[in-house]
Structure 1
């Protein structure tokens, strides 16, 4: 269990001249994390491969293999590992290198520069199953049958870090599993939905009443900062959401209304949708270039079935309280 923060070490207070390095800082979440940490007194090094997309300020341009070898000439107190290959489709070798080997490289870097803490962004996709799961706690993981290569890679990355926790006290390691990150600048979740709407119509299973549990990107950045600051959380894995699960159809229609778009649905029985997705995966898996299927089994699972996370551990150990509501986040995306 986490200890209470000592006086002078209160979450939300500016750190004492600490340096943080954020991997994947050119990405959606990474950019928000950089801004959150800088706003609270950290000297942040933004790390990523795309120099043009990195936030202004001190940067390290390179991949995670480069990071493992680089000499920055100074200690780094906190490492936040946001970089990942995140997709429902792709080849195992690519996911393994980006998400498993990449995490090993980040751990190697953190050890070499003497970091006190490593905050790793994992995924609640590791809970995925073709059934309703409500109030999922952090220990409810079955690693035996991952639904896709991305999930397998995230499971293996977490296992690597838990081995490091067992091996020694430094760096302290905290794993966050944020669910359905949305907000201004989202390049993935909402755009995928909008493409499906435009091309085929959005598959609607079980009347769209399956509960989805989303997280405003600003709240994930807040959770990252708390995970960097709060003492007594070494080795913890923590669910992060807005704590406001809603039916898929209700959220979708609120989003589309904000964008001035009409819903386009295809009512499909869940078993049929799952079977079609499995067939599409098989076909795309043998086509030249292995193109991403229009719909995958994982996508069907997330739309058809309720999946909500219990965030009581993050509330209790980190003092996490979402600051941006789901309504604000949906409206913010529509204003982009």
Structure 2
């Protein structure tokens, strides 16, 4: 089929493009900068911004389906910036799909239902959060609602803490800040994560099953490893893959929350400075957030083909080969 992947040069978008191109689909990628990895795959690159409605419509034209991976991510930043990309950009993609008759797989986030309290084994019946401590989850929740209520066959996937070779966020952040890393609370809280190839599999499975009138239309699905683990266990597993020592130090949650509040206030008066600790980060590191993926198994046929152990081995091998 003819498929457009927004954010195709990003971490998850590139993995989706690799899967689609590998099975013979005609793939386009909409992103802002040319990507050598996509050229090697034979992917047509549309260099544009999802905030440009005309450019998005031109990229979608002639496509049967869109996998919308493009998003502004981060734990801190101006609401307006996040809204323009995550909400307005998603609306542009949805409008272009409606005009061109394309179906839509939207990449969302479990953070849309996380209000700062523990989420333990919940399924998709859990409601959207009513309070958010960062613009990212707030705008992702807005975008997901727009997509699921929209006029085209659409499904939202919620991959959680995507990691693996090429991860631009988690491991690089842990490595860069390893001398000041602390675990929060007296003991680990249980979380879910997902290896990047498993998340990409879920996108393609949803793409293949999404049709007008199918059970997927208008629904959201959690996508994880199905192997919940402790937050500190996950952090230290990634550090071990990079050949680094584990983090043992712990900080009381209340102290971390207070420090995050002060740092965010300072960031508000220091233009361009991003605080190293935020309330959103504290919530993610100090609460349980793991999910029941029975619906994804049932409706998508999703089975995590790369286990946590295999994913860590692949990550370690990738890092050992890096220049």
After TM superposition, the score normalised by the length of structure 2 is: 0.91
Pick aligned residue for 2:9 from 26, 29, 44? 26
**Structure 1 position 72, deviation (Å):** 5.6
Structure 1 residues 52 and 299, CA gap change in structure 2 (3 angstroms)? same
Is 2:13–2:69's contact at 8 Å kept on the other side of the alignment? Answer: yes
Greater Cα shift, 146-155 or 63-72: 63-72
Relative contact order: is structure 1 or structure 2 higher (C-alpha 8 Å, sep ≥ 6)?
1
- Using the alignment, how far apart are the partners of 1:53 and 1:145 within structure 2? 40
Q: Is residue 176 from structure 1 mapped to residue 157 from structure 2 by the alignment?
A: yes
- Using the alignment, how far apart are the partners of 1:94 and 1:144 within structure 2? 21
Secondary structure of the corresponding residue to residue 329 of structure 1: helix
Point out where structure 2 has 5 or more consecutive residues left out of the alignment.
none
Secondary structure of the corresponding residue to residue 124 of structure 2: coil
Secondary structure of the corresponding residue to residue 249 of structure 2: strand
Matches within 5 A, 1:245-264: 245-264=228-247
- Using the alignment, how far apart are the partners of 2:109 and 2:21 within structure 1? 25
- Using the alignment, how far apart are the partners of 2:271 and 2:59 within structure 1? 42
Point out where structure 1 has 5 or more consecutive residues left out of the alignment.
1-17
Q: Is residue 241 from structure 1 mapped to residue 220 from structure 2 by the alignment?
A: no
- Using the alignment, how far apart are the partners of 2:222 and 2:170 within structure 1? 19
Corresponding residue for 2:29?
46
Corresponding residue for 1:106?
93
Q: Deviations 1:139-174 (Å, cap 9, x if unpaired)?
A: 31333211211111111111211331xxx4xx2001
Matches within 5 A, 1:66-215: 66=52, 68-69=54-55, 70-71=57-58, 75-115=62-102, 117-164=103-150, 168=151, 171-198=152-179, 200=180, 202-215=181-194
Q: Is residue 273 from structure 1 mapped to residue 252 from structure 2 by the alignment?
A: no
Secondary structure of the corresponding residue to residue 105 of structure 2: strand
Total equivalences in the alignment: 310
**Structure 1 position 332, deviation (Å):** 2.1
**Structure 1 position 74, deviation (Å):** 5.6
Structure 1 residues 186 and 45, CA gap change in structure 2 (3 angstroms)? same
Is 1:88–1:150's contact at 8 Å kept on the other side of the alignment? Answer: yes
Greater Cα shift, 28-37 or 253-262: 253-262
- Using the alignment, how far apart are the partners of 1:259 and 1:71 within structure 2? 42
